[in-house]
Amino acid sequence: MKLYSTLTRDKRDFEPAGDAVTIYVCGITTSNSSHVGHALSAVVFDVLHRYLEFRGYTVRRVQNFTDIDDKIIASARDQGLSTEEVAEKYVQEFFRDMDDLNVRRATEHPRATEEIPAILRMIEGLIEQGRAYPATDNSGSVYFRVKSDPEYGKLSGRSVDELLEGVRIDVEPGKEAPADFALWKSSKPGEPSWDSPWGGGRPGWHIECSAMALEYLGETIDIHGGGLDLVFPHHENELTQSESFTGQKPFARFWVHNGLLRLDGAKMSKSLGNLVTVREALESYSADAIRMYILTSHYRSPLIYDQDNIGTQERAARRLRQAASVTSRADSGDSIDPAPFRERFVEAMEDDLNTPQALAVIFDLAHEINRGRDAGHELAGAQAEMRTLADVLGLTLAEPASKGGLSDEDVEARLASRAQARANQDFAAADAIRDELIEAGVVLEDGPGGTIWSRV
Ligand SMILES: [Zn+2]
């Protein structure tokens, strides 16, 4: 399989270094509900995990929760809760959202506040090696000494000077140099605090991922993943800390970054106030439709949040569902050979996870099944293959639970009654049925070819 790595800036053959594929993906900060941008990243790495298993590998995927930081402290104050309560609330919400999106859980989901001893060991080691230092103003913070690593900047591809331009550097009196970043932050009065050799404080964001990757997956991991917005400074800093501490290079053999979700051309972010939460999306669309919308774009491309597009995917998902369950019209004695479809599917996925192409193969197979039905071919083998390939993309092909409690069959039955009522010139009855469907979140479009319906 070929995978693109941000570090080498090219596609390379991927094989795990050991028996299992080890993957570390940066998880959410548990200060707010997850939005569709989080769903994008989660679906991409879920599909990578599923595909590697489909190829016969054992996969160990670790995804952390950043359960202490400034945003969580602020969110706790706003909600009148403790930081633990806020973190727990959004951890549970994340799991519920991801379960409903059919994103499988990682092998481990460690939390920063439960890994303090490992984090402290790493910071102490970095200080002993001269790579880090306690703040020069005795504030109790600890900083990483960026100039101690001549390779710093190799992931994001920029020099330290360039990195400093355009980055807001807080003037922190305890730093030796502006590019140095905090490994340990001394706590202000009233903030959550853990004991350390430098006084009460909490871990910086970057060090937690280095410590957890080392703790759970070892000195070198096969794949480090996350969104493109994490390349700098988060991943650059993780990389320098980890390689400095262990002396082992590389820290990650492949750096895999997904493109970002945009809304009307702007990045979806809390500060811009343009977030669509995963829950909101799931109230309107099935998990299959949301996943298909994400996977029709290559994972490294930016994705525009577009409700019409997801609505189109809802209808496309229905076509796949129907093909997966139709029965043949006759018995021709022939059957469909699904092997060429699997071959093309694998070929697409081997090319840096080309999911748009892989999805197209599943649609071709659905088309073949529909033709086979008309020709009276045996369909079971092709349908089983279609379900297998769809499952690699995390598509259930199951009928979504609809808001109004109407199944697809229910909707079809109502439509037949409505058509009959219209044929009988009983427009009041026809309108009543249409209103009932709208109430249940089903919209109708009457056209020359009949009535098309979709869920909103
Ligand atoms: Zn991270």
Domain residues for the domain of 308 are 285-392
Res 171: pLDDT: 62
Domain count, the chain: 3
Do 257 and 305 lie in one domain? The reply is: no
Instruction: Return the bridge partners of 455, or none.
Output: 442
Whether residue 276 lies inside any domain: the answer is: no
12, β-bridge pairs: 3
Which H helix or E strand runs over 13?
strand 10-13
Ion ligand 1 — residues with CB < 5 Å: 26, 209
What's the CA-to-centroid distance between 180 and ligand 1, angstroms? 18
pLDDT at 270: 60
* Residues 190, 228 within the same domain: yes
CA of 64 to the centre of ligand 1 (A): 8
Spell out the SS3 assignment of 77-144.
HHHCCCHHHHHHHHHHHHHHHHHHCCCCCCCECCEHHHCHHHHHHHHHHHHHCCCEEECCCCCCCEEE
Q: How many Cα neighbours within 13 Å face the side chain of 433?
A: 18
Q: What pairs with residue 186 in β-bridges?
A: 201
Please choose, from the candidates 195, 191, 245, the residue with its C-alpha nearest in 3D space to the C-alpha of residue 220: 245
- For residues 228 and 351, state if they share a domain: no
Cα(37) to ligand 1 centroid in Å equals: 16
Element (H, E) at 66: none
| Location of structure tokens 């409690």 | 405
Q: How far is the CA of 206 from the centre of ligand 1 (A)?
A: 6
What's the chain's length in residues?
456
Residue 363 structure tokens: 């649609």
Which neighbouring-strand residues pair with 20?
58
Q: Do residues 359 and 312 both lie within one domain? A: yes
CA distance 415 to 423: 12
Give, in order, the Cα–Cα distances in Å from 285 to each of 288, 295, 315: 8, 15, 11
What's the 238 CA to ligand 1 centre distance in angstroms? 7
Q: Cα(291)–Cα(298) distance, rounded to whole angstroms? A: 12
Distance (Å, whole) CA 85 – CA 10: 43
Structure token pair of residue 267: 């990045």
How many angstroms separate the alpha carbon of residue 340 from the centre of ligand 1? 40
Note whether residue 397 is domain-resident: no
Residues 322 and 184 in one domain: no
Which of 218, 233, 267 is at the close of a domain? 267
Instruction: Decide the pairing of beta strands 252-258 and 221-227.
Output: parallel
Same structural domain, 388 and 417: no
Residue with tokens 């481990």: 108
Is 277 part of a structural domain of the chain?
no
Query: Global pTM?
Result: 0.87
Looking at the fold, whether 299 and 216 belong to one and the same domain comes out as: no
Same domain, 118 and 66: yes
34 shares a domain with 130: yes
The crossing angle, in degrees rounded to 10, of helices 116-128 and 205-217 is 100
| Å from CA of 279 to ligand 1 middle | 24
Instruction: Report if residue 278 sits inside a domain.
Output: no
Q: Decide if 400 is inside a domain.
A: no
How far away, in angstroms, is 397 Cα from ligand 1 center?
33
Q: Are 402 and 455 in contact (CB under 8 A)?
A: yes
Cβ atoms of residues 102 and 394 within 8 Å:
yes
Q: Does residue 185 share a domain with residue 140?
A: yes
Residues in contact with 14: Cβ distance below 8 Å, sequence separation at least 6, in sequence order = 1, 2, 3, 222, 223, 254
Helix, coil or strand: residue 38: helix
Residue 232: inside a domain: yes
Of 186, 185, 192, give the one whose Cα is nearest residue 83. 192
Q: Are residues 430 and 335 in the same domain?
A: no
Report yes or no on 165 lying in a domain. Answer: yes
**One domain for residues 117 and 198:** yes
Contact between residue 362 and residue 338 where contact means Cβ atoms under 8 Å apart: no
Give the distance (Å) from ligand 1 centre to CA of residue 26: 4
Return all residues near 58 (Cβ < 8 A) that are at least 6 apart. 19, 20, 21
Q: SS3 of 147, please?
A: helix
Q: Which of 424, 24, 411, 456 is nearest to 211 (CA)?
A: 24
Q: Name the residue among 264, 340, 258, 254 with its Cα closest to residue 295.
A: 258
Distance from Cα 42 to the centre of ligand 1, integer Å: 14
Distance 17 CA to ligand 1 centre (A): 21
CATH number of the structural domain spanning residue 185: 3.40.50.620
Collect all residues with Cβ–Cβ distance below 8 Å to 446 and sequence separation of at least 6: none
pLDDT at 241: 97
Tell how far the Cα of 349 is from the centroid of ligand 1, in angstroms. 26
Is residue 401 domain-resident? no
Nearest to 450, CA basis, from 404, 406, 418, 408 = 418
In order along the chain (456 residues), what is the average pLDDT of each group of 10 residues?
98 97 97 93 98 98 96 94 96 97 97 98 98 96 96 89 63 86 94 96 97 98 97 96 97 98 69 79 93 97 89 94 92 94 98 98 97 95 98 93 70 90 91 86 80 79
CA of 183 to the centre of ligand 1 (A): 13
Residue whose tokens read 């809760």:
81
Residue at which a domain ends, from 214, 238, 267: 267
27 alpha carbon to ligand 1 midpoint, in Å? 7
Q: Residue 372's domain is classified under what CATH number?
A: 1.20.120.640
Q: Could you tell me the distance, in angstroms and rounded to a whole number, from the CA of residue 437 to the centre of ligand 1?
A: 45
- Considering just the CA atoms, what is the radius of gyration of the chain in Å? 26
